[in-house]
Amino acid sequence: MGRFPTVLVTGFEAFGGQTVNPSWMAAQALHGRTVAGHRLIGAQLPTVFGRAIEALRDLLHRYHPALVVCTGQAGGRTALSLERIAINVNDARIPDNDGAQPVDTPVVAGGPAAYFTSMPIKAMLAALLAEGINAEVSQTGGHLRLQSRVLRPHA
């Protein structure tokens, strides 16, 4: 689409009684910008197990992005967390926006237990810190969320 490669940045709709989700606010703020020769597309995903991955697949087919950055809200964290590992487990602390609250179910049935990032997170961390952005490497964000597009299965 267009003359620039696309970067898809996703955030989630509000959930858990909140009126806004900072992940969506960030994705929305980036929408339409061009950074380093890449066109940024911000998109909102539903905070509903199953529907979020379907919405992401639709966005992948629509935009054919060169890179996907999926963001999420982790209440209580004081830094931007770069996730190293996504485990293949749905385990909801609170119900999603449709009332589902899965416990210990796979995100990808028959998939590997975990997915390791292929992104250079240590270099990304150094760059963020150099810009004065409080950031950290998180060994796992918990469940898989929607990170599979930028992750590869660990062999």
Secondary structure string (H, E, C) spanning 40-83: EEEEEECCCCCHHHHHHHHHHHHHCCCEEEECCCCCCCCCEEEE
Domain 6-153 has CATH 3.30.1490.100: no
> pLDDT higher for 107 or 130?
130
What confidence category does residue 2 fall into, taking pLDDT thresholds of 50, 70 and 90? low
Is residue 103 predicted with pLDDT exceeding 50?
A: yes
- CB within 8 A of 93, min separation 6: which ones? none
C-beta neighbour count of 99 within 10 angstroms: 7
Q: Are 115 and 144 in contact (CB under 8 A)?
A: yes
Is beta strand 85-87 parallel, antiparallel or unpaired with respect to 114-117?
Answer: antiparallel
Domain ranges of the chain: 6-153
Cα torsion through 127, 131, 132, 134, rounded to 10:
-40
Is residue 62 predicted with pLDDT exceeding 80?
A: yes
Q: Are 92 and 144 in contact (CB under 8 A)?
A: no
Read off the pLDDT of residues 22-53 as tens digits, 9 standing for 90 and up.
Answer: 999 999 999 999 999 999 999 999 999 989 98
* Rounded average pLDDT over 48-68: 94
In whole angstroms, give the CA distance from residue 60 to residue 68: 9
* Total-model pTM: 0.82
